Structure formats: C-alpha cells, structure tokens
Amino acid sequence: MITCHFLGYTYVNFEQSADAEQEATEAVTEMNSRIVATKPLYVALAQRKEEYQAHLTNQYMQRMASVRAVPNPVINPYRPASFRDHVKLMEERKLLQSFLAKSQKGLPPRKMKDSYIEVLLPLGTEPELREKYLTVQNTVRFGRILEDLDSLGVLICYMHNKIHSAKMSPLSIVTALVDKIDLCKKSLSPEQDIKFSGHVSWVGKTSMEVKMRMFQLHGDEFSPVLDATFVMVAHDSENKGPAFVNPLIPEGPEEEELFRQGELNKGRRIAFSSMSLLKMAPSAEERTTIHEMFLSTLDPKTISFQSRVLPPNAVWMENSKLKSLEVCHPQERNIFNRIFGGFLMRKAYELAWATACSFGGSRPFVVAVDDIMFQKPVEVGSLLFLSSQVCFTQNNYIQVRVHSEVASLQNREHMTTNVFHFTFMSEKEVPLVFPRTYGESMLYLDGQRHFNSMSVPVTLKKDYVVAP
C-alpha cells in the first residue's frame, strides 16, 4: 500500500498472478459504491507504478479547478466547515511542531526532480469545468490561471519538503512574491486541454523559488504559453513564524544554471527594492523625462506654470482610474481563516483588464505580470479595496498598477496588502498618459521601470525539462 497524504490518495498493489487484474477490477467496483465521511469514495485502476504521479496530480488539478480547493493540499484538501472546525484543526496542527527542523542542516537535501510535477486541466473533455474558465470572447480567463498557478506553486513546495513519517506537513507554505509571468500567446482556446509543469529551482533557508510553465494542446503536441516564477516562504504549523526548508542540490550544468539564476533573481529583487522611488530620488534621466513632459503640457498662450493643457492624443493619469470593493467571504478562505492569494490576484487582474480595456478602447491582452508582493494577509470578513490606474503607455502597450488595501468592519483604518503590476497589449495604438502631480509622476516612472524590465525577462529556458 502506498499512501499519498499530500493529495489524499492511497494506492493498493496486488500481487502478480493470473487473476490479479480481475481481483483488482472487482475491488475497484466494490469500493466505488461506498461513502466515507459523507463523501463518495473514488477508486481507479492504475496499471503501472510510473503512472502514479501523473494520475494523482491530474486528479488534484481537476479538484482544484472545480472545487477551488485550498492551495494547501498537504495540510487539508477541504476548507474548515465552520469556525469550530477551524479551531479544532489549529489545535491539531500545534502537535506538528515536533516535526519542524531546528536548523536546515538537519533536513535531507532534495533534487529538482523530487518536486517536479505535471498537471492536466482537461478543458477539452470537461464541459462543466470549461464553463468556469470561459470568457465572453470565447477564450480562457487568465484570472483563473493565476489562481491555479498560485495553488500549483504551493503544491510543488510541499512536494519538495515532504516528510514521509508525517500524515500532515508541519509547514505552512504561502506565496510571498510573484516575481515574473511572461506570456508568449495572446489568447487561449477554452476547448483544448492545458498542461502545467513546475519544480523548485532555488532554495534559501526559509524561502523557495518555483519555476512553472503552461502549455496548451495543439494537434498532438503541447505548445508553450507562459513561464512563471514565484517565490514561496515556509512558516511553522500555526503560520506564526518562519520554518526551515529542505536544501536543494542541482544536478548537471543546466540545473546549476537555474540555481545560479535564482541567486541572481534574489539579488535583482534586492537591488530593485533599494532603488524604489519610495526610498530614492529619480535618476537624472528620469528627472529630465518628467520635466519634459511637464513642459509639453504648459499652455503656450500664457507664461504660467499653472495653466496646463494636454498634448494631442493624451489622457491625464487621474482620468484612467477604476475602483472596486470586495467583501471577503469565507468561501475564499484557507485553513488559517485568510483569503487565498490566488483569489486576490484574480480580482486585481480582472480590474486591471477592465482599466486597460476602458483606456485603450479595444480588447487588451496581458503579456506580463511582475513584482506582486504579498505584504500583508487578508483576513476573512475584511473589506478589500482595489484601485487600478494606467501609469505608463507606449505604442500598443499599457502598464496598469493595482493597489490593494483592506479595512476591517470594526475600524476605518486602511492598510496596504498588495501592489500588482500588469502589462497589456492593445489591438491598436493607445493614447499617451500624462501625470499632473508629483505623486503621479512617480507612478509614471515606476510604471516605466516595470515596463522596461519586461524586455529582459528572467524565465525558464524554453528547451529545458526536468525529468519526473
């Protein structure tokens, strides 16, 4: 018997004999008629051991997509039914503290292939599932894909840190940062299967970088659609403090290059943060850009800095805003009574898409997502305020920034939880966006920086595959 606690499945091996296949078939038929804990028991016949992982992960992805399962499948594949269940589960997780390592040296090293996983999203064969991913333009909802990437990234990290002696993982894996998502296709067909793959590519002491790729079936082959890089962090069993993760040992020159790239990504993020416009003044070139834009908005008929007019084919930045409000219901919670990061990304993306659509006057296509930092968790019951605006444009491209903040029902204090950056491409050339205030000028420069970083993405090599 092989038990896979991280997905909630068990395999039973039958001894090789002339009647083994018939015995297995009869056992499957009998078990499929039973109910366990008010839920139907699903049993399938797997023929070969090498099919185990593909079978398990395909079942997980179907459940994740159709039930919106929590992105914490190792801990519990279902949400607590009530607050009482939540309290009970937290008491159970306190007992897992003994499985946590005191230092990283006490954990066995892992290889990239140990966390490698492939999952299938069967849009082509599951009409009910397809309905949840369908847009009015007959394409695939990218917001749903963001939710799936978030869930898959967490699952990959649990695979990397799996403890065979524990029924539940003592770790609480959460998404810390969406470093980069680069797309190489405008839109996806809702009638063709989608395949995800990914693995841990770099490990620190308590953090992990995850590389993920997405493909869609075209004919008999899966074609690449996007590359994604997420950074995940490990907390203890009660999600109160950091926890050590298994070290990673790269094998071969290509894996060593991936690991080295992970180190470079970490350094790049630190450097980008240190140069933030919230900490340092703009560069000389950036100051010149802002001053020239300011001069181009002065009314030539007056000699005054107060009289401002828009140049041709331009829009004031303040007129490119859209806002939304979400009440954070328990439906989107995890076992810690907090809202899924994937849900937040989906809502932010949908507002950003609407902003780009309204601004450009035509259908926009997302081409890049980067630098989504999860600064503060969102509690169930919070009011989630999303504010989106265009902060930079160039030719057909629109850079949209979404600011997310929460307020509890007990007080009116607002706290920032996330800042999202999306790059869209419009079907036609879009107007220029002009800042009117100094604060908007900083938003413009920040948007320009994120847009320029898109031209040199740090992504997984197209021809590189980690064998399962």
Domain ranges of the chain: 1-47, 49-249, 285-453
Equal fold, 49-249 vs 285-453: yes
pLDDT at 455: 52
For 6, phi then psi, to 5°, come to: -70, -20
Residue environment code for 290-326, b if the CB has 16+ CB neighbours within 10 A, otherwise e? beebbeebeeeeeeeeeeeeeeeebbebeebebeeeb
User: b or e along 125-134 (b: 16 or more beta carbons within 10 Å of the residue's beta carbon)?
Assistant: ebeebbeebb
pLDDT at 4 over 70: no
The answer to which of 404-408, 418-422, 448-452 has the lowest mean pLDDT is 404-408
Angle at 341 between CA 459 and CA 361, to 5 degrees: 70
| DSSP class of 81 | S
**Assigned superfamily of 285-453:** Hotdog Thioesterase (3.10.129.10)
* Banded pLDDT at 274 (limits 50, 70, 90): confident
Number of H helices, E strands in the chain: 10, 16
What is the pTM assigned to this prediction?
0.77
The string of pLDDT tens digits covering residues 6-31 is 344 444 555 555 566 666 666 655 55
Residue 135: half-sphere exposure toward Cβ, Cα within 13 Å: 16
Q: Over the stretch 205-254, which tens digit does the pLDDT of each residue have?
A: 999 999 999 999 988 889 999 999 999 999 988 778 899 999 999 999 99
Report which listed range, 39-48, 99-108, 429-438, 451-460, is most confident.
429-438
Question: In this predicted model, what pLDDT tens digit does every residue of 120-152 receive, in sequence order?
Answer: 999 998 989 999 999 998 999 999 999 999 999
State residue 246 phi and psi, 5-degree precision.
Answer: -65, 135
Element holding 291 (H helix, E strand) = helix 284-296
Confidence label for 305 from pLDDT (cuts 50, 70 and 90): confident
CA distance 121 to 148: 10
DSSP for residue 170: S
3-state class (DSSP) for residue 95: helix
pLDDT tens-place string over residues 86-95: 667 677 777 7
For the stretch 332-358, pLDDT in tens is: 887 777 898 999 999 999 999 999 999
Name the fold adopted by 49-249: Thiol Ester Dehydrase; Chain A (3.10.129)
